[in-house]
Structure 1
Amino acid sequence: MRIGIQDGQLFLGFGSIQRVFDDSSLWDPLIRLADHYSAPRTHGEAAAFLERECGLSPGRAEEIVEIFRSGHYLIPAGSYRPEDRYSRPSLFYRLSGADSQEVQKRLADSHIVFLGCGGIGNLMSVTLATAGVGQVTLVDADHIEKSNLTRQYLFTESDVGAAKCEVLARELRSRNPDVEVCTIRRRMTDLSDLAALPEADLLVLSADSTGITELVNAHCVTTETAWLNVCYVNDIAVWGPLIVPGKTGCWSCRPLTAQAPSGNAELDALISCINRRYQAPSHGPTNMLSSALASLDALKYLGDFGFVQSLGRRVGVWTHELRLDEQPSIPDPDCPTCGPLQP
């Protein structure tokens, strides 16, 4: 935690653990106790310190100690070890009150499949692999092109022409040799292709081939596999919904993307023709934004801590005006894809 004073207020911690105190009579015991906790203390020792050094009554001292206990400001003595690869993330997990060792174990026991190894696949896979997810499977049939290098940051000019999934696997292994990385060089065109995928705790879809979203949704509902859609829509960074079959709605429950007008075959055909000519304006910072927010949700889901922002909703950040949009993925009991699984 950090402490600051601004505009006549004491800030005890910042971000999710932030508490603000206007009552200046609390400043002295709070600051002194924060300093006292720089060495291991029992709660009884902390309360006794406040009684002795600040002249507080036993009841008042207990109230101050409880602020630290309930505010996620304290960690068990010896749990932070700088020599540990995951020491700094462990402090992050504790912001939500989670046991960081349990979170790290859940991540180590997890398997995540990335369907697509482009800009989003690059960024998310390295984030999850270096965070300690135990097994990563990379699925992509494409080869690296020079135009990929503006946003697919784990590739270099010397990799141009090589298979994306193989180069990405090499880079992940070099960053965390404890993670098992597998590759599948195969294009996913139908349900039989998806059926060849290994079982996983989470599937991340970042491929953009026509109809792939619907195929992945059908596959994941059938296999009861959680999956997360991550993409960009021009300059909107998009992630979600995180779909957990049997707990949330699925992609088929409610239209989340604009569709061709119904009842006019000619206009439908023109729209399809226009869309086939479309080339997505992929841009590094937009890729990074959607990948970062989606990676955080993936870690929260696999590590079971905090609140998963995209659970049951699709979220978009409009980068040209910094605006947030969301589309709830409302379960439809009559959905032909996931209706039978809904409680």
Structure 2
Amino acid sequence: MAPYVRVGFQDGTLFLGFGSIRRPVHDRALWEPLLRLADHFREARTQAQARSFLSGSCGMDAHRVEAVMRLLDDGNHLIPAHAYDPADRYSRHALFYELSGAAAVQVQLRLARARVVVLGCGGIGSLVATVLATAGVGALVLVDADHVELSNLTRQFLFTEADVGLPKTEVLARELRRRNRDCRALSVVRGVGDTDDLEHLPDCDLFVVSADSPGLTGVVNAHCVRSGTPWLNACYVNDIAVWGPLVVPGTTGCWDCRPLTAGPPEGEPGLARLVTGINSRYQAPSNGPVNMLASSLAALDVLRYLGGFGAPAALNRRMGVWSHDLSLDGQGAERDPACTTCAEAVPVREGVR
């Protein structure tokens, strides 16, 4: 029985497991056998031993035995005995992967072989990089031209007052190595403004883009579609934590398939000038908790994609959590067969290439 399986009663119902694996058991005749079996499973047992226990010690007929075993099998309640090693640094993540229905050992191997480029290492990028490095992603390429500023410290938690004035990527790489020496963190102190800049970066399995340079998402999208490299945008829109779409060239929609952001009106030059002028003074209100929402949910999708477990929430959609009322929103980003950017893109193999 997986260590994450808890049991309890509420409103006259036995619950076997909680969260996504929760199974309500209304049949009172199953309560005691289930609990006795769960207690029996505190030590590693085979399914054959479980069936024998139910039929022997609990006196259940074959039909009821199979009903109980189906309850356990259907919800990832049973895992291989070797899947959880408390001494392993990734042991708690292993339980999460098993909870999601994946083989933890295989997920960890895929993550260890992966290389991710993080474009922008500020409030979101630095946190995404931290999650990926500590989860066991094998290599991270950290790209940013900025240096640490005092105002960064409200939300960029791996930087300290002593780091003010130093290149962000160098400090971040140093801190990631301190947390996981097996993660190869490469610092690239440079901005990215065009395709040439991207082509000078190492090959990777996925780009995470959190830099806020105007037009960067379009440049990255074109480069990734052309090279067959998946990429994910993560950002915030004032108090909305935003991530997605996760673009998998040839499989999902790309950034150009659907209009995902507002801009100046086409064919209205006067209004366009006004919009551009007003927006030229815009300064985003960056807030630590909103940054953490966007970065954690984006990082989870990266781990799902690279590790091959679960379903990334941002496939074919751009997601947003409105922090003021905790509502969830999504913009469809399905593939447009007539998209001039990705119509001829060939599907890439999912996960680590």
Q: TM-score, normalised by structure 1?
A: 0.98
CA distance in 2, matches of 1:44, 1:248: 43
Q: Which residue does the alignment assign to 1:146?
A: 150
Q: Which residue does the alignment assign to 1:50?
A: 54
CA distance in 2, matches of 1:18, 1:172: 36
Q: Which residue does the alignment assign to 2:183?
A: 179
Q: Which residue does the alignment assign to 2:246?
A: 242
* 1:69 and 2:69 are equivalent in the alignment: no
1:1-343 residue pairs with structure 2 within 5 A? 1-341=5-345
Query: RMSD across aligned C-alpha pairs, in angstroms?
Result: 1.1
CA distance in 1, matches of 2:215, 2:224: 15
Residues 283-304 of structure 1 show CA distances to partners (whole Å, capped at 9, x for unaligned) of: 0000000111111101000000
Which residue type is aligned with residue 177 of structure 2?
A: R
Which residue type is aligned with residue 259 of structure 1?
A: G
8 Å contact from structure 2 (residues 230, 246) kept in 1 = yes
Structure 1 counterpart SS, 2:121: coil
8 Å contact from structure 1 (residues 236, 286) kept in 2 = yes
8 Å contact from structure 2 (residues 265, 271) kept in 1 = yes
**How many residue pairs end up in the alignment?**
343
Which residue type is aligned with residue 61 of structure 1?
A: V
**Stretch deviating more after TM superposition (333-342 or 274-283):** 333-342
Which residue type is aligned with residue 169 of structure 1?
A: A
CA distance in 1, matches of 2:56, 2:121: 60
Residues 45-73 of structure 1 show CA distances to partners (whole Å, capped at 9, x for unaligned) of: 11111112221013321321232123211
The alpha carbon displacement at 1:342 in A equals 6.1
Structure 2 counterpart SS, 1:123: helix
8 Å contact from structure 1 (residues 333, 342) kept in 2 = no
8 Å contact from structure 1 (residues 112, 200) kept in 2 = yes
8 Å contact from structure 2 (residues 23, 71) kept in 1 = no
Structure 2 counterpart SS, 1:28: helix
CA distance in 2, matches of 1:94, 1:111: 23
CA distance in 1, matches of 2:341, 2:280: 27
Show structure 2 runs of 5+ residues with no match. Answer: 348-353
8 Å contact from structure 1 (residues 107, 302) kept in 2 = yes
CA distance in 1, matches of 2:83, 2:209: 35
CA distance in 2, matches of 1:42, 1:321: 47
Which residue type is aligned with residue 201 of structure 1?
A: D
8 Å contact from structure 2 (residues 235, 241) kept in 1 = yes
Structure 2 counterpart SS, 1:266: helix
**Stretch deviating more after TM superposition (68-77 or 309-318):** 68-77
